[in-house]
Chain A
């Protein structure tokens, strides 16, 4: 009984750390969004919120936002379905966060002669779990649209649902190539398989074995986050979106979901295509450079370096998605459908066929 309680505590602690980290990155992204867009448009950006005249580069705006959202009035239109209206933002946030259970943030860590897997749950069907959690996020959006009793919300919900469904297939199919090559749907094993190098300097990352899948997956996962250039469900200049009737923190929860999904997208792209916590040349015993030099490192340092590498990649992709969001204009709906159905879907099917032929031929 004793070790089981310890395990539960460990898992709960790990879960809390990961959730706290994800929510913090998502909160910081609200600041990054303001500052990065300001930088790209040659503005100053958020810089007013201050505690005792100390503005911290506008970082306090996130806190000010949270305080404001929690203390706003909770409005609900007449004729809205009260229970579903409240359930929708909770579903969105809960399942966006749930997907992080399967993300490996590092290799195993050995502390006090206990081996801790730096992942909430090493599932054999982790890939299916992540896809399922992302699919359920559709419900949050569509329930919000339909429970609000507002034309704009219904339209936004429908747009969101058909956009997410359309891109979900390309997303799933593009990952199939990696499943074919690695023979596993376990994300931790998928990351382990990306260790090592070719010719001593090209890391064995998914982006080099499956470049087309990388492009398709990144596009599709961006569409899943419903942010520009795929922000048609919430196109503020036309229909405002599925959350038009929400106020205060319930609106904030949809906003938070978008940012959590951006973090999730960054995590998934890092894990699938950029080796997750792998650093090229870093082995279990330390760095081994192609020219023969070795730097021995203790196992603890190797584990922590892996976590740092994963976080660096996640931050990089968050930055990239943010830059894309402020660079590309919004698609028209027919362009969105054209891209999803006529370009990404055939491309991902072709990718699967070619990869499968390769695997069947070479064994």
Chain B
């Protein structure tokens, strides 16, 4: 109870500090926008293009692989917490599970999903 209360107070403080920074910045800074200041950065030129949402596919692959392995990770935490009580059976069960995940990892590796340079 106490600990959760402490956490709540701390999280509130963590929101107050950046909020205060933004507020102070908004109050103290001057404000005279012009066309040049509102142009997105481009090495001193007029911007050649606007971001369109098209990005190298590698980023999406990394995202998908991350989800695969993060789900595995979420399974491993409770298992790691109780392995000593559960003993060898839990270890063997996790070997099976990890075996499947690692097979997927090996497949992704072999297919070249982890290669950044083609």
- B-binding residues in A (CB < 8 A): 7-8, 11-12, 14-16, 18-19, 23, 69-79, 86, 89-90, 93-95, 97-98, 100-101, 120-123, 127-128, 146, 148-155, 158, 161-162, 165-166, 168-169, 172-173, 176, 179-180, 183-185, 240, 244-245, 248-250, 252-253, 333-334, 337-338, 341-342, 345, 349, 352-353, 356-357, 359-361, 363
Contact = CB atoms under 8 A, between A and B. Distances in A.
A162 B18 contact: no
A351 B50 CA distance: 45
- Chain B's interface size range is 35 or more
Contact of A98 (B10, B84, B114, B115): B10
21 contacts: A8-B5, A16-B13, A71-B29, A73-B37, A74-B25, A77-B39, A78-B39, A94-B18, A95-B14, A101-B7, A121-B6, A146-B51, A151-B42, A154-B51, A161-B63, A176-B77, A250-B25, A334-B115, A337-B114, A360-B88, A363-B87
B102 interface: yes
Contact of A77 (B10, B14, B40): B40
Interface in B1-26: 2-7, 9-11, 13-15, 17-19, 21-22, 24-26
B33 A337 contact: no
Given A165-B62, A356-B83, A149 B38 contact: no
Contacts of A94: 14-15, 17-18
A169 B22 contact: no
Contact of A154 (B26, B32, B42, B55): B55
Interface of B: 2-7, 9-11, 13-15, 17-19, 21-22, 24-26, 28-33, 37-42, 47, 49-51, 55, 58-59, 62-63, 65-66, 69-70, 73, 76-77, 80-85, 87-88, 90-91, 94-95, 98, 102, 105, 109, 114-117
A70 B10 contact: no
B41 A150 contact: yes
A166 B95 CA distance: 23
Contacts of A154: 51, 55
Contacts of A341: 65, 109, 114
Given A12-B9, A90-B18, A121-B6, A162 B62 contact: yes
Contact of B6 (A15, A152, A253, A345): A15
